[in-house]
Amino acid sequence: MADDDVDLELLREAARDFLSGRVAQDSVKELAAMDWTGLLVEEKLGGSGWRPVETTVIAEELGRALNSSTWFGCVLSAAALASAPGEVRDRWLPAMLDGTAAAGCTLADDTVRVASGNVIDILVTLGRNGISLFEMSDAMPRSRDDELLDVSRAAWRVDLSGSASVLIGGPEQADRLLAVARVLLSADSLGALSTTFERLVAYLKERIAFGVPIASFQAVQHRLVDLLVFEAKARAVIMKAARALEADEISEDAIALSAAAHAFVAAKAAAAVDECMQLSGGIGFTWEYPLHHELRRVFTNGYLLGTARSSRALLAQRSGW
């Protein structure tokens, strides 16, 4: 195993240990104390440098823990603020890095959907015209979006029409950050699926039918292998996209790989969790069972930054198909 792979596994183990059994999962301050909100901010501004690979590992572990904090919005907003005008950067970047303020990040539109378990202070939008920052106020119309069913994070619809914003990045920076965001959301879904699959395997080893563990049945084993293969494929394409984003300048290949990762995971992750539900038998259909929390999170992730279909279209465009 290469040295960098060893380091990533150590990071994964440390993150899993830190998140295991935590009560205050919704506190972004605790994650900021681990330097997890500055993983995409250069060191001279107080961050850890541009580290999309390490950020992806953290995103997967947060998805595995069903973390409800505003980390996703904060880490992306911090990256956007790093290149913002000095006055805006100095006001908000330190608060992102130490977790004293919360942020959301989404696609640019008049009405946006933000997944966050907490009230946010700023909202960063990514679009064709670049990166815009909105300072949230009580005057902004917003409502809880219960259609997505995510119980680990509240989903909100916010009306931005007529609201003042500050342009803090150009189109190229928006493309790069959106590519990273797709990878992080995909990693979050992978983490949720990973813990679902792990719980399923343990259950099938213990559940007895006809005098033997259910996991010993060949038909069940084939379905478990299919799930394992999907998990391995998803992690491979996500990490390949993350490594492509490490370069100082964004490339067409990096954007295409991020779109491929998002399209693959968004299209198949919810179905994979549903397969875990089928293999879990009766307990799998109980809404209070943790599996349903993971299913709702994965389903929500598949729509927050576009869909599998929109990512396929982007992949075709960037690949010249």
Q: d(Cα 225, Cα 237) in Å, to the nearest integer? A: 18
Residues 162 and 280 in one domain: no
**CB within 8 A of 69, min separation 6: which ones?**
25, 26, 27, 28, 31, 62, 117, 118
Structure tokens at 247: 């370069």
Q: d(Cα 269, Cα 233) in Å, to the nearest integer? A: 11
Helix residue ranges, H only, the chain: 3-19, 28-33, 52-64, 71-81, 86-98, 171-206, 218-244, 252-279, 290-304, 308-319
Q: d(Cα 232, Cα 161) in Å, to the nearest integer? A: 42
Nearest to 173 by CA among 135, 136, 132: 132
pLDDT at 314: 94
Structure tokens at 67: 């973390």
Residues 88 and 145 in one domain: yes
Contact 251, 244 (CB under 8 A): yes
The radius of gyration computed from the CA coordinates of the chain, to the nearest angstrom, equals: 20
The pLDDT tens digits for 117-173 are 567 899 999 999 999 999 987 666 666 666 667 878 877 778 888 888 999 999 999
Residues 186 and 306 in one domain: yes
Residues 135 and 147 in one domain: yes
**CB within 8 A of 304, min separation 6: which ones?**
106, 113, 115, 185
Chunked into runs of 10 residues, the chain (321 residues) has average pLDDT values of: 79 94 72 96 96 98 93 96 94 96 88 69 93 82 68 79 90 96 98 97 94 94 98 98 92 95 98 96 88 93 93 90 68
pLDDT at 93: 97
Torsion sign (Cα): 22, 23, 25, 30: negative
Share of the chain above pLDDT 70, in %: 92
- Which pTM value belongs to this model? 0.93
Residues 207 and 299 in one domain: yes
| Domain final position from 170, 205, 226 | 170
Residues 156 and 195 in one domain: no
Domain, as residue range, for 146: 3-170
Residues 41 and 179 in one domain: no
Q: What is the CATH number of the domain that holds 14?
A: 1.10.540.10
pLDDT at 1: 46
Residues 152 and 287 in one domain: no
Please tell me the total count of domains within the chain: 2
| Domain final position from 170, 205, 221 | 170
Residues 204 and 142 in one domain: no
Residues 123 and 149 in one domain: yes
Residues 20 and 62 in one domain: yes
Contact 121, 95 (CB under 8 A): yes
Q: What is the CATH number of the domain that holds 265?
A: 1.20.140.10
Residues 127 and 236 in one domain: no
pLDDT at 2: 53
| Domain final position from 105, 136, 170 | 170
